Amino acid sequence: MARITILAMIACMACTPKEVTSSFEPTETNSPPSATINSPYPGEEIANGALFVAWGEATDNEDLPEDLRVSWLIAGEERCSPSAPTEGEGRTRCDVSFSFDKQSITFRVEDSAGDTAEQTVDIRLVENTGPTVTITSPTPDQRYRINDLINFEGTVSDGEDSPEGLQVWWESDVEGVLDDLGLTVMSDGRVTGTGTLTLGTHILRLLALDTSGRESNASIVIEVVQMAIPPEIEIISPTDGEQFEVGSTINFEAQISDEMTPTEELQVEWRSSIEAGILSIDGATEDNTVQFSTNALALGEHVITLTVTDDDGDRAQKSTMIEVVDHPVESDPTDTGTATESSDSDDAGSGT
């Protein structure tokens, strides 16, 4: 019996082995996405209520960036709802603001398989400050013509917002908001614009509003007057047609004024129709008087012209004619004595 069993085992070992197959197939596993907050950084100081631009980056091993869905939450409250990343290569932004009861931000990423990842950053909130505003042009109490193109210039800055992030505008108490200045706010905080104003006294304000709603302003007062008017001139002496002996001293005097230019800043020029060059350029005194003297005028009839020019380039002229003669100037004769006659009767003797 044992011998038969051994033979059977030998015969079985010579049999052809059968191929064994399996129906098991491994399943693919999905890796979750990655969520990274680039800004703010942990513990960053951010102003209460100020606009803050949060930045993050979403990546996934299986999905393209545009197939991901990203969202932002402030203290658990959704601020930017799920959407594809706003920038290329998975970078995304969300404009947010913080308050003292909401000092954390969460960036969440979900892939096409429904797997999610998120990162939370705690920030430190500080009190907000309003913008700083200065006016550099126009200058206080300056006067302009109604047709003058005025430069509106100033500077703005803020502890939390960039200058371009501020709302900036000019106002006049006469005209309201000045919308036609072509206002430009530069990255260094300079504010520029040009325009005209209506007739009258204006209180001008440059205002700036930051993203937290805090507003600041600076103000000045300027005056806008009528169109340019030339200076006024009145020649006091010499009078028209007056004669002078050659070599005698002649005194010239006039009163001048201007509505805009201070009298002492007016340009003065005396000339003669006969003499070459300028007779005098002496400016006005405090009482608006211009004067000079000369004894060097040549013989003949002189048309003496006074020209006055203001800061606007407007000028006025007045003239008087005098005559320089080579003989003493005659004055009106005055009879101061009584004529006497000799009498022959005094010399006649009485005959004896």
Q: How confident is the model at residue 329 (pLDDT cuts 50, 70, 90)?
A: low
CA–CA dist 156, 185 (Å, integer): 8
Q: Which two tokens stand for residue 77?
A: 């409250």
Q: How confident is the model at residue 330 (pLDDT cuts 50, 70, 90)?
A: low
Residue 180: its pLDDT value, please? 92
Q: What stretches of 96-250 show up as alpha helix (H) in DSSP?
A: none
Name the least confident of 20-29, 141-150, 157-166, 231-240: 20-29
CATH of 232-325, one of 3.40.50.12280, 3.10.20.440, 1.10.340.30, 2.60.40.10: 2.60.40.10
Residues found in the chain: 352
Could you give the dihedral angle defined by the CA atoms of residues 343, 345, 347 and 349, in that order, rounded to the nearest 10 degrees? Answer: 180
| pLDDT tens profile 279-328 | 999 999 889 999 999 999 999 999 999 999 998 889 999 999 999 999 87
- Cis bond before residue 40 (omega within 30° of 0): yes
Sequence spans of domains, the chain: 34-126, 132-225, 232-325
What's the CA angle centered on 129, arms 181 and 213, to 5 degrees? 55
| pLDDT tens profile 85-123 | 988 899 999 999 898 999 999 999 999 999 999 999 999
Is the pLDDT at 339 greater than 90, yes or no? Answer: no
* 57 DSSP 8-state letter: E
| pLDDT tens profile 61-91 | 999 999 999 999 999 999 999 999 988 899 9
Mean per-residue pLDDT over the chain, rounded: 86
Fold assignment, 132-225: Immunoglobulin-like (2.60.40)
Residue 246: its pLDDT value, please? 95
| pLDDT tens profile 232-256 | 999 999 999 999 999 999 999 999 9
Q: Which two tokens stand for residue 216?
A: 């600041």
In angstroms, the Cα distances linking 3 to 9, 13, 261 are 10, 16, 142
State the Rg of the chain over Cα.
Answer: 50
Is the pLDDT at 336 greater than 50, yes or no? Answer: no
Per the CB < 8 A criterion, the answer to whether 301 and 289 are in contact is no
Q: 34-126: which CATH architecture?
A: Sandwich (2.60)
